[in-house]
A and B are shown apart, each in its own frame.
Chain A
Amino acid sequence: MTTASPSVHAARTSPFATLGEAIRREAWLVGLLGLVGLLLIFTRIINPNYGAGGIQGLAISVLPLALATVAQTIVVISGGIDLSVASMMALTNVVAATQMLGRSDEVGVGVAIGAIILGLVIGAINGVVVVITRVADIIVTLAMSFVWAGFALWIAQAPIRSPHPWLADLVNGAVGSEWIPKSFVVLAVAVAVVWIPLRRSRAGLALYAVGSNQLAAFRSGVSVGRTKVMAYALTGLFAGMGGVALTAITGQGAPLPGGFTLASIAAAVLGGVSLAGGRGGVVGPILAVVILSLIQTDMTFLRLNSNLATVVQGAILISVVMLGSLTQLRRARA
């Protein structure tokens, strides 16, 4: 309704008003950022030893889920959903671990890149199947999750140890100041290289258009099928990065998919992405992953039953989404 007004408004007023406008527009993001800050302060209070080391541990532990969440976010923005994210991560993780085993570091770099490209390819296959069969996204990706997990299990029947110092070095430790963990830099670079150019391109606009109204997008000349395949391919790309990150962090290839799929959906929704499609970005979901991880850390520091962390995560998910829909309902009535 008022999409044009912020820019017109901003042009006439002071920079501070522009800032206020931006905060109002990105209220969800600002709220998440504030929550991260509060949680960090709280963590510091309950455990005075929590410092740069803690931040580095945090960055490493959130990296796989953060990449999975970015993957999920892209496809959800396009109006789909991908239940095979965890399976794709398991497959790329196993491929990377087995192919690097006993090879030199130079070959290893090639294998890592190959595994990420493999993610792109299997993601594109998901997209092609969705477009061709016209079956609901959730069903196709559910079925494909069995297929990709099956291939992972085919390659390795049991977890394979495959530690590579150069790969672990990419995520462990810090760059420059000890407060800037390498994992955060890796995540930021991955997102910046893929997401930012996309967001500013025609393809990115098509992604949001298809997500918010498929028919309208089609009538405005967007190729819906091609856009969907692109969205799934990018989801596969980030899932592939997540798989390689798992190889780097755990030093092994595990064929059984972890609980990344449902966690990534939860984090995407908490991060302000609408499951109906067409709304949200990738920064919010990443912050949501950090928040969920910090809550778990805090509960460990408080010596609370770790099972309660699961309850709290579920309760947060439900109450935040309820709050969101309540405000929407109120706005609709007003």
Chain B
Amino acid sequence: MTAQAAARRSSPIMTTVVRILRDQPLIPLLVLLVVLVAAFALLNPRADFSGYLAAQMRTAIPLAILAGCQTLVMLTGGIDLSVAATASMAGFVAASLYSGPDSLVIVIVVALGFAALVGAVNGIGVGIFRVHPLIMTLGMGLVILGAANAWQLLTVRTRSGVPPELRWLGSASATDATFLPVSLLVFIPLAIVIIIGLRRTGYGRLLYAIGDNPVAARLSGVKAWQVLLGLYVISAVLAAIAGFLVSGLTNVASVTLVNPRLLPSVAAAVIGGTSIFGGRGGFSGTIVGALILTVADSLLSSLGFPEAVRQILFGSIIVVVSGFHARLTVAA
């Protein structure tokens, strides 16, 4: 209705622009991203630009993966507040068990196994016992944090260090093209699987269906608990992968390492156009959202703003961009 009223009032060109923006919400986001990167380049003409791009991508990739967890879960109308604890736990377990290149595969498998277990408990709680996802994952986050802390005290930390392979994966760049970080090797396949999985597979459609109208999904024979169980396991495994990358990036293994990225991961998904009420959104928008948050943060710090002002502007950006999204979708 609002769109029609606007169409009657404004010129045909404006109508076309509004329609394009509405149908392709990714376009304004990409424009915003390019503007932010250009602003950095203009303000810091002497900076090493390819190094800058690599640093932005390295920081944004773990955030994008965590935001991917949120995107998948938010499509069903949920939220996963345990991703940060799961990711930190995975990075910490990997570092504390590692004893040399031979042990790498086992270490990774064990950490992923723990994560899958966490996801399964989340899935059982949300899918079978119908606990509110916010509460279930919040509680699980506490359980993981406490357990990881206890593990930290129990294991004698003789050889606790981030495995060099993870450090390479998280923080190195390709030798002949320095603007390409190695972590893209993990991220690009993951992103392709998630995007195609959401768009082309039956499982992806089930996620949208459950989030859009749970009753209709149930009446058409969807076993929501099976879908949710799988979903939370996937989310936890993705979080563990992000945890490996963060510990590799920062060369730190601590049980609270990823916590500061929890709320930005929710924000990145929302900025990318995923609705927290479920049924709407996708991973490509989320990737752009994570990039925007990362680039905006580095731009604000390169402008010499103190931490306080950066936080204020960061919060304002989230409100403005998501408000813009809400307007566009309301118009549709």
Contacts and interface: CB of A to CB of B under 8 A. Distances in A.
Contacts of B142: 266, 310-311, 313-314, 317
A140 interface: yes
Interface string B298-332: 00000000111111111110110011011100100
Contact of B308 (A153, A265, A308): A153
Interface in A79-103: 81, 83
Interface string B219-239: 000000000000000000000
Contacts of A135: 270, 319, 322-323, 325-326
Contacts of B306: 153-154
Contact of A143 (B136, B143, B316): B316
Where chain B touches its partner, the secondary structure class is: helix
A321 to B, nearest CB: 5
Given A133-B326, A144-B319, A322 B150 contact: no
Contacts of A78: none
B131 A147 contact: no
Interface in B134-148: 134-136, 138-147
Contacts of A312: 146
A142 B266 contact: yes
Interface residues of A, number: 47
A275 B146 CA distance: 25
Contacts of A322: 125, 129, 131
B130 interface: yes
B186 interface: no
B206 to A, nearest CB: 22
Contacts of B275: 136
A314 B149 CA distance: 14
Nearest to A153: B308
B308 A151 contact: yes
Interface string A296-327: 00000000010111111111011001100110
Contacts of A315: 139, 143
B81 interface: yes
A139 B311 contact: no
A265 B143 contact: no
B315 A150 contact: yes
Given A139-B270, A326-B129, A269 B318 contact: no
A156 to B, nearest CB: 9
Given A307-B153, A315-B139, A136 B276 contact: yes
B198 to A, nearest CB: 21
B145 A133 contact: no
A154 B322 contact: no
A292 to B, nearest CB: 11
Interface string B139-174: 111111111011001000000000000000000000
Interface in A111-165: 129, 132-136, 138-140, 142-147, 149-154, 157
Top-9 shortest CB links A-B: A314-B142, A310-B146, A150-B311, A146-B315, A311-B146, A150-B312, A307-B149, A154-B308, A133-B323
Given A145-B315, A146-B311, A317-B139, 9 more contacts: A134-B323, A139-B267, A139-B270, A143-B316, A150-B309, A153-B306, A312-B146, A314-B141, A321-B135
Interface of A: 81, 83, 129, 132-136, 138-140, 142-147, 149-154, 157, 262, 265-266, 269, 275-276, 305, 307-315, 317-318, 321-322, 325-326, 329
Interface of B: 79, 81, 125, 129-132, 134-136, 138-147, 149-150, 153, 263, 266-267, 270, 275-277, 306-316, 318-319, 322-323, 325-327, 330
